[in-house]
Amino acid sequence: MSETEMRSETDEPASDPVLEIKNATVSYEMSRGRARVLNDVSVSVERGETLGVVGESGSGKSIFASSILDAVEDPGLLEGDVIFHPENGESVNVPDLDGGDLRRVRWDEISMVFQGAMSSFNPTQPLRVHFEETLEAHNEDKDAGMERARGILRDLNLEPDKVLGSYQHTLSGGQRQRALLALSLLLEPEVLVLDEPTAALDLLMQRTILRLLQTVKEEYDLTMVFITHDLPIVAGIADRLAVMYAFELVEVGETREVMRDGSHPYTRMLLNSTPNFEMSVEDINPVEGSSPDPVNIPVGCPYHPRCPVSDDRCEEEKPALVEVEEGHQAACFYTDRAKDEIEVSLGGDGE
Amino acid sequence: MSADDADTAADETTTGGDEDTPVLELDDVVVHFEQQESLVQQALPDSVGERFGMTEPPVQAVNGVSLDIEEEDVIVLVGESGSGKSTLGRTAVGLEEPTEGTIRYRGHDINDVRRGTHGDQDLMWEDVRRALQIIHQDSTAALNPYRTVRAILSEPLKLWYPDLDMNDRYERLTAMLRTTGITPAEEYLDRYPHQLSGGEKQRVAIIRAMLVEPDVILADEVVSALDVSLRIDIMDLLLDLQDMVGTSYVFISHNLTNARYFAEKADGRIAVMYMGNIVEIGPAAEVIENPKHPYTKILKWASLSLDPEEIDIMEDSPMMTQDAPDPSDPPTGCRFREACPKARDACAEAEPTLGSKAGDTHVAACYREVPDHEYWDSNWAHDGEEHDIPE
C-alpha cells in the first residue's frame, strides 16, 4: 500500500480509514473580518463505520460535510487534506482534484444526502429523469443502472415504478426522502454523507428511515457520516460520535462512551439539554449563553464563557484534542472535573 | 378598525363569565375541508387532479373534539402530520371556523361574537382576537423583514393600547426583552429580523404575542425548527412568561419528548391526536409513563432514547400498515385499527370514544379500556393473532 506514509502515526495497526480529514480549515473573507467556519479539524472515518457528527446550528457541522466533498461554496476557502482511500485503487486528496476526477469521486465514490428533500428534485420532471440524468452524467449504462435503481427503491420499501413515474410533490415527505436516498446510492458509492436526513419528518417515519439506513448500509457495504443537531437520532445508528462546537471538534469517541461518560463539558451539557424521557424534567437544562460568532471566537478554549468548570487557564490557553482513553479524544483541560461537576443522569445509574 | 372599543374592553381584565367557566370550551368540534374549493388543488397538475376527482368527499380534519381549557392551563396536542392537531388548534383560537360544534370564549360562542349576534355588547370580536393569540413555527416568515424589532413589537401595543405614548411603549418593550433574555435590549430594538439568530427571532415572535396579555396562546410547533439545545430554552421562556402574564397554552408538537417536557413542567395535559380525534388525554407524566392507547404506545416506542443502550434501531415497526388512511375516506369503526397491532374484529364496528367516568383524568378512546366490551371476545384482526408493541 503506497498510501501508508499518508496515515498519521497515532493510528492503530487495525485501522483502515476510508477517509482521513487532516487539518481541514474553511474561511471566508467578510467585511467584519476573516470568518473561520471550520477550524483545523482532523478526524478519520473507518471503512464500514457510521460516524455521527453532532453540533448546534452554526457549529460548522454542515461546512464539515461540504469539505468532505470539496463542495464548500464560494468564496469559502478550504485548506487541509481530505484523503480518500478507495477499497480498490489509489488514494486521492479530494481538494487536489478538479473537473472529471472530482466529479468521479463525488457521487460515484462519496455521495451526499442533504436536508430538505423538498428542494432536491426538479418539480417539473418525474423522478425517473433524475435517475437517468445521473447515470448519463457519470457515463453509466442506463438499463443496468435503472434496474439497480429499482432494486434500491424496493430495498427502501418503495414501489419502484410508481415512484419513478411520480413528480416530487405527489410523494409524502418520507417517500421523497427515501427516493433521494435511493438516488444517492445509485452509483454505488463507498461513503454516504447525510446532513440531517430525518429533519422535518414525523416520529414514525424518522424511525423507519433510520432502520432503512442501517439496512442499506449493511446491504451495500457503506461507510456513513451522519450529521445532526439531534443526539438521540444518531445514538442508535452511529458507531462513533464527533461533537462539534465553535467550528472545531471537541470530543470524538465510541457512541456509548461519549453519551454515557462524555469527557467534554459541552458534550455533557448538550445531553442534559436534550428533551428525553429518561431524565426528570428538573434535570433537563438548557446550555446557557449562545455559541460564538465565527469572526469573534473567544480566546483560549472557545467554550469557556459557557463552561461551569472553566478557570483562568481556559481563558488564555486553548486545549488540544487529545486522547483521554484509548480511541476517545476530548479538547478540555479538566475532563475529570467535568465528570464530577456536570452530572448526566441517564438511566439513573449515576455512572 | 375600532381601536377605541378594543381599548375599553381590553382594559377590563375579564369580560363576563364567572370563575368556573373555562377560558375556552370546545364542544364536539368538527372541521371538514372541501377538496374542490382548495386553491392549492386547482393549481396542481392534472396528474393530481385525476387522483382526486371533483366529487371527492371532504377531508375530515377534526372529527368531533371536546376540550376545556382553563385559566393558566397547558394542553399539548401531539400527533403526526395529518392528525388534525394544527387544524384543531387554529379552530380553537378562531382562525378556522368549525364545520360543526361550538367554541366558547368565557361562555360566548365565538362564531356568534364574530357575527355580532351574541347579544352581549360588552364583548367585541376584537377582544376575542386579542385574547387568543398564535405563535408560528416559522418565525422568519412571521416577522416582517423590512421592519425593525421595535416596529414589529410596537404594532400590537399601538393597536390594543393606544393610550400608551412612545416612552411607555419603549419601557414595556425593553422590560419584556430583558425578561426574555434578549440583552442588551436597546440594541436589539433597532435590529432587523435577518440580524437575529433563529432562537432570537422565535423570542421576538413570542414577545409580540405576549405583549397584548392574551388569555390563550396557540404555540404551533414553535420549537421543532430549532436546534435541540435551544428547545428547552424556548419552552422555559414560555413557561416563565405564563407565570408573568397568566396565559394558557395550546402547545402543538409532533415530538413526544418535547411534549412531555413542556406539559410535565407546567403540570399540564397531553392530548394525543390521530386522524382528527383525540385518542388519549391525561396528565403529562401519566400519559408518558403509562400510555393506554396503542397509538400512544407506538409513538413512545418511536421516540428515540438518549441512552444508546436502550435503542435497537433494527426493531420492526409495530405499525401494521405504513401508510395513513385517506382522510376523506377513513376506515369504519376505530380509525387506527388498520395500523393497530392490538386490533380485533370488533374495532371495525363502531368508533370508540374517550370514555370518562367521573374523576377520570386520564382516558383513551380504545375498547381495551372497557373490561366487558365485546372486543375481548372477537378475533384478532391481523393474521388472527396479537402483535407486540415494544417498550
The fraction of chain A above a pLDDT of 90, given in percent, is 68
Secondary structure of residue A332 in the 3-state scheme: coil
Instruction: State how far residue B382 is from chain A, nearest Cα, in angstroms.
Output: 20
Q: Are strands B277-283 and B269-274 parallel, antiparallel or unpaired?
A: antiparallel
What is d(CA A156, CA B363) in angstroms, rounded to the nearest whole number?
37
What stretch of H or E contains A109?
none
What is d(CA B112, CA B106) in angstroms, rounded to the nearest whole number?
13
What is d(CA A165, CA A183) in angstroms, rounded to the nearest whole number?
14
Instruction: State how far residue A232 is from chain B, nearest Cα, in angstroms.
Output: 5
Q: What is the pLDDT of residue B51?
A: 60
Q: What ipTM, to 2 d.p.? A: 0.89
- Retrieve residue A115's grid coordinates: 436536508
- Retrieve residue B71's grid coordinates: 385559566
Secondary structure of residue B173 in the 3-state scheme: helix
Cα-based distances in Å from B64 to A124, A236, B292: 39, 39, 20
The fraction of chain A above a pLDDT of 70, given in percent, is 94
Contact between B305 and A173 using a beta-carbon 8 Å cutoff: no
Query: Where are the alpha helices (H) located in chain A, listed in sequence order?
Result: 61-68, 99-105, 127-137, 142-155, 160-164, 173-185, 203-219, 231-235, 255-260, 265-272, 312-316, 335-341
Residues of B in contact with A270 (CB under 8 A): 229
- Helices A142-155 and A203-219 cross at an angle (nearest 10°) of 130
Contact between A215 and B309 using a beta-carbon 8 Å cutoff: no
Contact between A235 and B304 using a beta-carbon 8 Å cutoff: yes
Confidence at A351, pLDDT banded by 50, 70, 90: very low
The domains of chain A are located at 16-238, 247-341
Cα–Cα nearest to A78, from A31, A24, A32: A24
Beta carbons within 8 Å of B288's beta carbon, 6+ residues apart: A277, B256, B260, B264, B270, B300
Contact between A207 and B256 using a beta-carbon 8 Å cutoff: no
Query: Where are the alpha helices (H) located in chain B, listed in sequence order?
Result: 3-11, 39-43, 46-51, 85-92, 110-115, 125-131, 139-142, 149-160, 166-179, 185-189, 198-210, 228-245, 256-265, 284-289, 294-302
What is d(CA A112, CA B296) in angstroms, rounded to the nearest whole number?
34
Spatial strand order of the sheet with A17-30 comes to: A33-46, A17-30, A77-84, A92-93
Residue of chain A minimizing CA distance to B83: A202
Q: Are strands A322-325 and B269-274 parallel, antiparallel or unpaired?
A: unpaired
CA torsion sign, A261 to A264 to A268 to A273?
A: negative
Cα–Cα nearest to B135, from B310, B1, B253: B253
Contact between A169 and B44 using a beta-carbon 8 Å cutoff: yes
The fraction of chain B above a pLDDT of 90, given in percent, is 63
Residues of B in contact with A210 (CB under 8 A): 313
Contact between A286 and B255 using a beta-carbon 8 Å cutoff: no
Q: What is the pLDDT of residue B44?
A: 65
- Selecting from B198, B255, B306 the residue whose C-beta is nearest the C-beta of A203 gives B255
B81 touches chain A (CB under 8 A): yes
A211-242 pLDDT tens trace:
999 999 999 999 999 999 999 999 999 999 99
**Residues 361-390 in B contacting A (C-alpha not used; CB under 8 Å):** none
- If you count residue pairs, one on A and one on B, with CB atoms under 8 Å apart, how many are there? 133
- Selecting from A57, A157, A285 the residue whose C-beta is nearest the C-beta of B232 gives A285
What is d(CA A69, CA A75) in angstroms, rounded to the nearest whole number?
16
pLDDT in tens, chain B (391 residues): 444 444 444 444 444 445 678 999 999 999 998 865 556 656 666 666 666 555 568 888 999 999 999 999 999 999 998 899 999 999 999 999 999 999 999 999 999 999 888 877 788 899 999 999 999 888 888 899 999 999 999 999 998 888 999 899 999 898 888 888 787 888 889 999 998 888 888 889 999 999 999 999 999 999 988 888 889 999 999 999 998 889 999 999 999 999 999 999 999 999 999 999 999 999 999 999 999 999 999 999 999 988 888 889 999 899 998 778 888 889 999 999 999 999 999 999 999 999 777 678 999 999 999 999 999 999 999 999 999 999 8
DSSP 8-class letter at A320 = P
3-state SS of chain A: helix, strand, coil percent to 5?
Answer: 35, 25, 40
B261 touches chain A (CB under 8 A): yes
Strand partners, B274: B277
Residue B249 burial by Cβ neighbours in a 10 Å radius (0-12, 13-18, 19+): buried
Cα–Cα nearest to A179, from A137, A206, A149: A149
CA torsion sign, A203 to A205 to A206 to A211?
A: positive
What is d(CA A324, CA A182) in angstroms, rounded to the nearest whole number?
39
- Retrieve residue A228's grid coordinates: 445532526
Query: In degrees rounded to 5, what are phi and psi of residue A32?
Result: -85, 0
Residue A326 burial by Cβ neighbours in a 10 Å radius (0-12, 13-18, 19+): exposed
B260 touches chain A (CB under 8 A): yes
Q: Are strands B248-253 and B74-78 parallel, antiparallel or unpaired?
A: parallel
What stretch of H or E contains A225?
strand A223-228
The pTM of this model reads: 0.89
Contact between B264 and A281 using a beta-carbon 8 Å cutoff: yes
Contact between A287 and B229 using a beta-carbon 8 Å cutoff: yes
- Selecting from A203, A235, A276 the residue whose C-beta is nearest the C-beta of B299 gives A203
What is d(CA A141, CA B253) in angstroms, rounded to the nearest whole number?
46
Count CA atoms within 13 Å of residue A222 on its CB side: 31
- Retrieve residue B143's grid coordinates: 416577522
Instruction: State how far residue A77 is from chain B, nearest Cα, in angstroms.
Output: 24
Contact between B306 and A281 using a beta-carbon 8 Å cutoff: no
The Cβ of residue B100 has, within 10 Å, a number of other Cβ atoms equal to 12
What is d(CA B50, CA B56) in angstroms, rounded to the nearest whole number?
11
Strand partners, A251: A243, A330
Burial letters A129-159, b for 16+ CB under 10 A, else e: ebbbebbeeeebeeeebbebbbebbebbebe
Secondary structure of residue A19 in the 3-state scheme: strand
Residue B175 burial by Cβ neighbours in a 10 Å radius (0-12, 13-18, 19+): exposed
CA torsion sign, A67 to A70 to A71 to A74?
A: positive
What is d(CA A130, CA A297) in angstroms, rounded to the nearest whole number?
42
CB B66 within 8 A of CB B26: yes
Site from A115, A118, A203 to mutate, B interface, most B CB atoms within 10 angstroms: A203
What is d(CA B193, CA B149) in angstroms, rounded to the nearest whole number?
7
- Retrieve residue A26's grid coordinates: 474553511
Cα A106 to chain center, whole Å? 16
The CATH number of the domain covering residues in A16-238? 3.40.50.300
What is d(CA B99, CA B96) in angstroms, rounded to the nearest whole number?
9
Contact between A170 and B305 using a beta-carbon 8 Å cutoff: no
Cα–Cα nearest to A12, from A46, A50, A49, A53: A46
Beta carbons within 8 Å of B54's beta carbon, 6+ residues apart: B36
Q: What is the mean pLDDT of residues A127-131?
A: 94
Q: Which residue has the higher pLDDT, A252 or B199?
A: A252
Residues of A in contact with B232 (CB under 8 A): 273, 275, 284-286
- Selecting from A167, A230, A236 the residue whose C-beta is nearest the C-beta of B313 gives A236
Residue of chain B minimizing CA distance to A215: B314
What is d(CA A201, CA A212) in angstroms, rounded to the nearest whole number?
14
What is d(CA A245, CA A229) in angstroms, rounded to the nearest whole number?
11
Amino acid type, B24: L
Residues of A in contact with B302 (CB under 8 A): 203-204, 206-207
Confidence at A3, pLDDT banded by 50, 70, 90: very low
Where on the phi/psi map is residue B59: left (φ > 0), alpha (ψ -120 to 50), or beta?
beta
Q: What is the pLDDT of residue B18?
A: 54
Residues of B in contact with A116 (CB under 8 A): none
Cα-based distances in Å from B175 to A334, B164, B189, B207, B353: 38, 15, 12, 11, 47
Spatial strand order of the sheet with B100-105 comes to: B59-69, B24-33, B100-105, B108-109
What torsion do the CA atoms of A271, A277, A278, A280 make, to the nearest 10 degrees? 90
